[in-house]
Amino acid sequence: MMKKDTGLLTGKNGENYLIPFILITACFALWGFANDITNPMVKAFSKIFRMSVTDGALVQVAFYGGYFAMAFPAAMFIRKYSYKAGILLGLALYAAGAFLFFPAKMSGEYYPFLLAYFILTCGLSFLETSANPYILSMGSEETATRRLNLAQSFNPIGSLLGMYVAMNFIQAKLDPMDSAQRAMLNDTDFTAIKEHDLSVLIQPYLIIGLVIVFMFLLIRFARMPKNQDLSHGKIDFLPTLKRIFSIPRYREGVVAQFFYVGAQIMCWTFIIQYGTRIFMEQGMSEKAAEILSQKYNIVAMLIFCVSRFVCTFLLRYLKPGKLLSILAVAAGCFTIGVITFQNIGGLYCLVAVSACMSLMFPTIYGIALKGLGEDAKFGAAGLVMAILGGSILPPLQASIIDLQTVFNFPAVNVSFILPLICFVVVAFYGYRTNSQFNHSPSKEAPSLS
């Protein structure tokens, strides 16, 4: 048993990748932190700037738009240089975006924050485009999906920390005045409260910027495999794209990843609105309802984290596509409960969805990249671009929530029809993977050099 587990991080020539694996896995936690300190900011910015939920959701547009914009440039960069270079540039952009929160706060305007988020996530795009295939290449192709699931298991640890910081160091310290009261303030009082709230909001981002600088220096001077492209910097962009998108398993994987990421962000972003409606109907103030809803979000992330380790273990006995389809169907069933229940039962269902989502991102990723060889670097970029789903779908859900009611039904409940559709797409991809893609020929996984 021990011999098999050690093989997860052993190369064809006996190289041991434990230290590189630990350092790169730490990056998974760092972008998890950024993702999940950001989700509650949709509600926070809506209050601070007296905006609609739809306008607040522009945070997610900027955040995941950065992933989309930089994915293929990141792939071209790491193909010309190395995974390590891509990770270092990603960390540098991450830190720069975090530090830009200070001048954004000084401006007192909303849009400079969106620019800061965009630059920050350009860095995250470099990190994910580099780190995911890097982890896949640290051992045999047979254990690649399990290895990526193990590394991704540390992503929700960072997410939990991000949620905790958002709840205790941002939401809890914002001015308790609710949205209705803020709407009646004169310009002078509104500006004073806005200045206070923005000062609270930027502090965690400035601190994480310092942490990222430390991580940059640690990786910069650590001994890491070069993993340079075998083409020695030659980039055949269009032929490579044509080649990888001609593979159904990859092409459909990009589509499935788009819808999965959209579902994940919608479920974790709008759990605040969903829970706030329920708790305010029970007589709570808006701020108390928001903080309690965020606690449920943290519970959902804890379940997600535990489920990731459990699912990584189950992958030793079940094919990835089969387990993916089972969990997507279960997530769809829970989402139906989220839509139909108008009480705490719906919130319980929404929390339970996280247990089903834990496996999805790395499993879709591993299945789609299987057998791509050196093309995995560009293939990874396509899958990172699919994170655009987290930019496009949440504003659509927010626009439904802003309707307040739909056919005398709470609009926030109806809005979860969108995640339901997403889980149907993921379930279909899992089914296709298990029944039709298993016997397709594959190349060797990229090896470290």
Query: Above 60 in pLDDT, residue 232?
Result: no
Distance CA 426, CA 328 (A): 6
Q: Compare 130 and 208 and report the one with higher pLDDT.
A: 208
Candidate ranges 18-27, 33-42, 424-433; pick with highest mean pLDDT? 424-433
| Among 355, 371, 254, 249, CA closest to 309 | 355
Q: Compare 130 and 213 and report the one with higher pLDDT.
A: 213
**pLDDT for position 40:** 84
pTM: 0.77
Categorize the per-residue pLDDT at 224 as very low, low, confident or very high, splitting at 50, 70 and 90: confident
Categorize the per-residue pLDDT at 444 as very low, low, confident or very high, splitting at 50, 70 and 90: very low
**pLDDT for position 13:** 64
Distance CA 220, CA 123 (A): 16
Query: Above 50 in pLDDT, residue 192?
Result: yes
Backbone angles phi, psi at 406, to 5 degrees: -135, 110
Query: Above 50 in pLDDT, residue 189?
Result: yes
Mean pLDDT in residue range 94-105:
97
- Residue 405 CB partners (closer than 8 Å, separation 6+): 411
Query: Above 60 in pLDDT, residue 234?
Result: no
Share of the chain above pLDDT 70, in %: 89
Query: Above 70 in pLDDT, residue 26?
Result: yes
**pLDDT for position 5:** 42
Tokens of 209: 């910027």
**pLDDT for position 436:** 66
**pLDDT for position 338:** 97
Tokens of 271: 């759990």
Query: Above 90 in pLDDT, residue 102?
Result: yes
Categorize the per-residue pLDDT at 229 as very low, low, confident or very high, splitting at 50, 70 and 90: very low
**pLDDT for position 312:** 80
Categorize the per-residue pLDDT at 445 as very low, low, confident or very high, splitting at 50, 70 and 90: very low
**pLDDT for position 136:** 75
Query: Above 50 in pLDDT, residue 2?
Result: no
Q: Compare 212 and 445 and report the one with higher pLDDT.
A: 212
**pLDDT for position 442:** 40
Mean pLDDT in residue range 53-68:
86
**pLDDT for position 53:** 83
**pLDDT for position 194:** 93
Write down how long the chain is.
449
**pLDDT for position 196:** 93
Greatest CA span in the chain, whole angstroms? 70
**pLDDT for position 413:** 94
Q: Which long-range contacts (CB under 8 A, 24 or more apart) does 215-219 make?
A: 215/26, 215/27, 215/30, 215/91, 216/88, 216/91, 216/92, 216/95, 218/23, 219/23, 219/84, 219/87, 219/88, 219/91
**pLDDT, tens digit, for every residue of 237-270?**
778 788 888 889 999 999 999 999 999 999 988 9
CB 47 within 8 A of CB 190: no
Distance CA 412, CA 402 (A): 8
Helices in 341-387 by DSSP H: which ranges? Answer: 344-357, 360-369, 376-385
**pLDDT, tens digit, for every residue of 277-335?**
999 999 898 889 988 998 998 999 899 988 988 888 888 888 889 999 999 999 999 99
Mean pLDDT in residue range 104-121:
95
Mean pLDDT in residue range 175-203:
89
Quote the mean pLDDT of the chain. 86
**pLDDT, tens digit, for every residue of 375-418?**
777 787 888 888 889 889 999 999 999 998 888 889 999 999 99
Strand pairing class (405-406; 409-410): antiparallel
